[in-house]
Every structure is written in C-alpha cells, then in structure tokens.
Amino acid sequence: MNATVSEFHYGMITPIAAYLMATLGAALGLRCTTRSLRNARGERGIAWLTLGAVSIGCGIWTMHFIAMIGFSVQGALVGYDTLMTLLSLLVAIAVVAVGVFLVGFRGAGPLNLGVAGTFTGLGVAAMHYLGMAALQTGGTVHYDLTTVLLSVVIAVVAATAALWAAVSISAVWATLGASLVMGGAVSLMHYTGMSAVTVSLVSGNSAPSADTGQLSLLLIMLAGPMTVLLLAGVIVMFDPEVVLGQGDWNRKQARRSVRETAGV
C-alpha cells in the first residue's frame, strides 16, 4: 500500500531553516569566488576558490538534509544509511568545485558556463538522489519520472545561474540578492524532487513515523558541514575586501593613505 508522505512534519521550520542554510552557503561561496578573481591562478586564488566550492557544496547538502528532517512516512520509521549520506556530501562538494574552478580559471563564456553549469547541476541532482538512496523506510520508494526530470532541469538552471553570478557579480548587495535567489532555486529543486516520491509499505506495518535515534544521527552528521560554514563565515568576515568588495576596499585604503599623508 502507498503510505502518506509529508515534507512538513515539523511545519515550516525545516523549509525555512533549509532555505537559510542554502542562502548562507551561496553567499559565502559567491564572496569567496569574487575574492579569488584577482589572482585565481595563484595559491591564494586557488584557496579562495576551494573555500567557495566547499561553502556552496556544504550549503546545498545541509539544506537537503535539514529539509529531510521534516520528511515523514506515515506508518514507517525513517532512517538513513550513513555511508551513502556522507557520499552525497562528497559529491556535492566535488561537483560544485568542478564548476567553480572552471569558471574561475576559464571565465563565464557561454560555452564554458554551459558546460560547467550542466555538470554542476547534474551533480547537485545526483547528490539529492544519492541522499534519497540513503533513505531507509522499510518500504519501496518510487519516483515520478517527469517530476524527477523537472527537478534536474531546475538544478542545471540554478547551478548555471550561480556560476554566472560567482564571476559576474562583485557588489556586496548584489551578491546578497543573488544568494537569496540561489537559496530559493536550490530549495525549489529539492521540494520538486521530493514531490516525485511515493512510498509503498508492506501491509500491516504500523511502526511510528519518527525515530529519535536516527534523527540524532542525522543531526550529528549535519554538525560537520555546519561547522565548516561557520568557519568559512569567520574567514570571510575577517577579510575586509571580501566583505566590502574590491572597489569599496580600494577606496577605503585610498582615503586612509590620504589621511596618513596629511598627518591626520
């Protein structure tokens, strides 16, 4: 029999928290990528690109599994395979890194952006469905193919737009605006993919739909990427050029030089 499936077991708490994490990861990633463009081929540039890729990848993965905390199947325990879950995290970081380094080194020309965006978008979709493959319900998970394809298209479009923004937008407020849009696009991809899900359970299974132990395990796994995002945020906040933008930082330095020259 098909069980009743819900994405909102805890109401709007998990969708909002998931969106905020996706937005945070995008904002940090965009600022880091912007910072790298001055010397993308140097060691510092590579370090900033790496931090940007890790931030975006962790933001996307954290968004997915925070949203999954709100996923419930009536009449079944919901659990996750640990290794498959961690594999989905590595996939998220790796595919974002490929896209970020492609546009960071080769620019946002139409062909390069299309290749990078398509690869990254397909990778983000793969992360999502790997995360779903880690799902354990005691039943069989089915997908509506049309809705799955729609979620993949959304992932590709979102990834392409994100990579374009990473190398084309440098103003702080524009970056924040782009991050809000990116967070929404990634969340839309997730919930579109989840709308494709139905779960068939063995008749007579009357297990509760919440498992405190599994939820605790998921929260523990979320702690790692969330800590990475926190550290990335600290690094970004302590780099004035990332926070202010290159133009504002240069103007600030110029004003300081004038004051020092004038003996103020």
The pLDDT tens digits of the residues spanning 154-199 come to: 999 999 988 888 878 777 788 888 888 889 999 999 999 999 999 8
Provide the 10 A C-beta neighbour count for residue 110: 7
Mean pLDDT of 7-11: 86
The burial class, CB within 10 Å (0-12 / 13-18 / 19+), for 92 is buried
Question: 177 lies in which domain range?
Answer: 5-262
Residue 38 pLDDT: 59
| Partner residues linked to 5 by β-bridges | 73
Cα 184 to chain centroid distance, Å, stands at: 11
pTM score, two decimals? 0.81
Pick from 210, 216, 226: nearest CA to 73: 210
Q: Considering its fold, how many domains does the chain have in total? A: 1
